Amino acid sequence: MSFDVVAIREQFPILSRSVNGKPLIYLDNAATTQKPQCVIDALVDYYSNSNSNVHRGAHFLADEATQHFEQARDTIQKFINAPKREEVIWTTGTTESINIVANGLSSLLSSGDEVIATGMDHHANLVTWQEACRKSGATLKIIPVTDAGELDQDVFDSLLSEKTKFVAFPHVSNALGTINPVKSMTAKAKRFNAWVLVDGAQGAAHGWADVQEIGCDFYVFSGHKVYGPMGTGILWGRASLLENWPVWRTGGEMISTVTLQKSTWNVLPYRFEAGTPNVGAAIAFGKAVEWFADLDHKAVIEHEMALLAYATKLANEFEGLTIIGNAQHKISVLSFVLDVGHPADIGFLLDKQGIAIRTGDHCAQPLMARFNVPGTARVSFALYNTFDEIDALFTALKKVKVMLS
């Protein structure tokens, strides 16, 4: 298959709307991606034709909803190359997935143990480990970030020891776009028998979430960053770990037996899926992954990298603009500051011209402190973005600079 950006754009209804009297240029894809019509249709179809609770009803609609819900799990299993379907746990998103792991980790660590995280982590992949260490008495170690915006691998090597019990790092930095060498980092941690979690919130959106290839113990990501609905996510973990991992939420579905004195827990994946799930969104999430997996990924990546290369060229030619994060390997994210104005002002003025970007600390305050900036203006491209949109962005930035000077 070849990649046709015009044909792709036609599948996304929101891209045809206007904002502030201008055609929408959506460049905030690292925050959330827009949804193709087939995903919207899948969500509407569930509520129009199959709405029912899953696993529990003794009637046609319940059976149909359950079938679609579990088929979506199978789709995710295939997408991430998980060995077993029961290892795929539905969550509300990356944050909840990480918290499930952190909750269990708190009771499995003890004083003298060490946890390694990074200086580029999203707060959801840092604060959780801070809390796990605080509750358990373990020590948190941090892999620093280089001037180029990469994880310092030499320091990582020096941090690993027999005390290391758990290592967590992002597949891709949400703030800088840096692609981390997750396979080699996992292999290093495994030499010390440490558990490894990869925050795949940005990596999965580019089709790189092959958990067997990476070799990690946990991989987590959100549906809304992979062209699916918000309020959905995945915790993948090795069955040998999840079968005995402490549960987080208790209630319906996750139990096996209940008496007035005690309870026992259900088998995987249900032991971590307490309560009524977001059934329609999960089904639509599966449709999004199915849609994305059917694309020519080589062509998609080439398109996104070409967008990044073109935007980087224009950024380097733009007087007073400084790119934050120049890693050798990046996804299509351009994070920058101007020599005039605050990033929030840049975002506000671009919005007035119909251009949507993200500004602020990107839930990565320690990383912003590392580069001594209050935040950045972040442009993030997806497969439906175009070179004309990049031209429009830099034309608008010239106006922004004049207004802020």
CB-count exposure of residue 131 (10 Å: 0-12, 13-18, 19+): middle
Q: Give the relative orientation of helices 279-293 and 60-80 as an angle to the nearest 10 degrees.
A: 40
Domain boundaries, the chain: 5-30+296-404, 41-293
Res 3: pLDDT: 78
Active site residues: 363
Low-confidence ranges of the chain (pLDDT < 70): 1-2
Strands 195-199 and 218-222: parallel
Q: Is this structure's pTM higher than 0.85?
A: yes
Res 56: pLDDT: 79
DSSP secondary structure letter of residue 50: I
The total of other beta-carbon atoms located within 10 Å of residue 119's CB is 19
Res 52: pLDDT: 96
Backbone angles phi, psi at 142, to 5 degrees: -125, 130
Q: What is the pLDDT of residues 258-308, one digit of tens each?
A: 999 999 999 999 999 999 999 999 999 999 999 999 999 999 999 999 999
Amino acid identity of residue 370, one-letter, is: R
The correct answer on CATH 3.50.50.60 for the domain covering 5-30+296-404 is no
Tracing tokens 């994070």 back to the chain, one arrives at 335
Res 13: pLDDT: 98
Q: How would you write 98-130 as a 3-class SS string? A: HHHHHHHHHHHCCCCCEEEEECCCCHHHCHHHH
Res 2: pLDDT: 62
Domain 5-30+296-404 shares a fold with domain 41-293: no
CATH code that applies to domain 41-293: 3.40.640.10
Res 24: pLDDT: 98
Res 365: pLDDT: 97
Residue 169's H or E segment, with its range, is: strand 164-170
